[in-house]
């Protein structure tokens, strides 16, 4: 496991340098990953507009579920922007990966989701590292502990915007990636190793890409269409979410943000 983490951390920074030095491909087309990377590269702690631009891209990222009502989304954005500014300025602590686990599992319980909708600390950390490979400027920043030596574990702390993107992406993976449609126990005992195998394969693709430069690619694969488990998620969450009032939704956001330390 330690060797696996060390290889991933090195790959994050290698891919980041490669992505920054690679010429754009496909004309002026910019995908959602690159849009976030661009805004992350321009973000400055003392420039609220640059922080808001990054938060906007996180909310603009294509998701499985439709966007929240505008009032809920704007409220969440405003709070996330302020939290990100304070974090970037060193005035507030970041979000702990264990808190991300607690928030997602609490939401799964409250919304009556099936067991495979829940997550584990290992799954959250695995996905975080995978996102750092495809979004090195945004998700790779701060992933290594300060002053860490090769082989040490990753930092459990992340920025508020990173945490929100990580949570939303994990929910997406629970819908369309069969590998992630596992209970916390199944992930830790079985699927985690399969994930490592996929990461190792992605390292080989990275090596080939560096030899033949092109646009960076993600590390997650959708696999076969997981009809039954996706149907279970859609039905259970669809029923619960459709029954929520605007006040209920705002309360859920408030409770989730409180657990993440976002005021």
Query: What pLDDT does 66 receive?
Result: 86
Is residue 86 in a domain? Answer: yes
Is residue 218 in a domain? Answer: no
Exposure class string for 88-106: b at 16+ Cβ within 10 A, else e: beeebebbbbebbbbbbbe
Is residue 127 in a domain? Answer: yes
Is residue 97 in a domain? Answer: yes
Give the structural domain span for 57. 2-22+30-213+223-260
To 10 degrees, what angle do helices 48-60 and 70-88 make?
Answer: 130
> Which of the four pLDDT bands, split at 50, 70 and 90, describes residue 143?
confident
Query: What pLDDT does 27 receive?
Result: 46
Is residue 187 in a domain? Answer: yes
**Mean pLDDT of all residues in 169-190:** 94
Domains of the chain: total: 1
Is residue 90 in a domain? Answer: yes
**Mean pLDDT of all residues in 106-129:** 95
Is residue 181 in a domain? Answer: yes
Strands 157-158 and 95-96, bridge-based pairing: antiparallel
Token pair, residue 132, equals: 């750092």
pTM score, whole prediction? 0.81
Is residue 82 in a domain? Answer: yes
**Mean pLDDT of all residues in 97-118:** 96
- pLDDT, one tens digit per residue, over 187-243 is 999 999 998 888 788 778 877 877 877 654 444 444 445 588 888 888 888 888 889
Where in the chain does DSSP place strands (E)? 95-96, 157-158
């Amino acid at each position: 496991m330690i060797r696996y983490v060390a290889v991933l951390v090195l790959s994050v920074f290698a891919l980041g340098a490669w992505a920054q030095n690679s010429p754009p491909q496909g004309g002026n087309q910019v995908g959602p990953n690159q849009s976030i990377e661009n805004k992350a590269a321009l973000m400055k702690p003392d420039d609220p507009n640059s922080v808001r631009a990054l938060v906007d891209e996180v909310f603009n990222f294509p998701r499985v579920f439709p966007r929240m009502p505008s009032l809920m989304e704007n409220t969440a954005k405003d709070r996330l922007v302020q939290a990100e500014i304070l974090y970037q300025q060193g005035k507030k602590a970041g979000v702990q990966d264990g808190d991300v686990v607690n928030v997602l599992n609490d939401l799964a319980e409250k919304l009556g989701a099936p067991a495979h909708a829940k997550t584990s600390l290992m799954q959250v950390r695995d996905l975080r590292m995978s996102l750092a490979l495809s979004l090195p400027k945004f998700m790779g920043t701060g992933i290594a502990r300060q002053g860490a030596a090769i082989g040490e574990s990753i930092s459990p702390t992340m920025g508020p915007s990173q945490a929100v993107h990580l949570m939303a992406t994990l929910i997406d993976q629970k819908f369309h990636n069969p590998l992630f449609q596992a209970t916390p126990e199944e992930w830790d005992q079985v699927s985690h190793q399969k994930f490592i195998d996929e990461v190792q394969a992605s390292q080989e693709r990275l090596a080939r890409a560096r030899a033949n430069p092109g646009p960076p690619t993600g590390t997650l694969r959708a696999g076969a269409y997981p009809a039954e488990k996706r149907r279970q998620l859609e039905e259970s969450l669809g029923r619960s979410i459709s029954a929520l009032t605007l006040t209920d939704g705002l309360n859920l956001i408030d409770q989730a943000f409180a657990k993440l330390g976002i005021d």
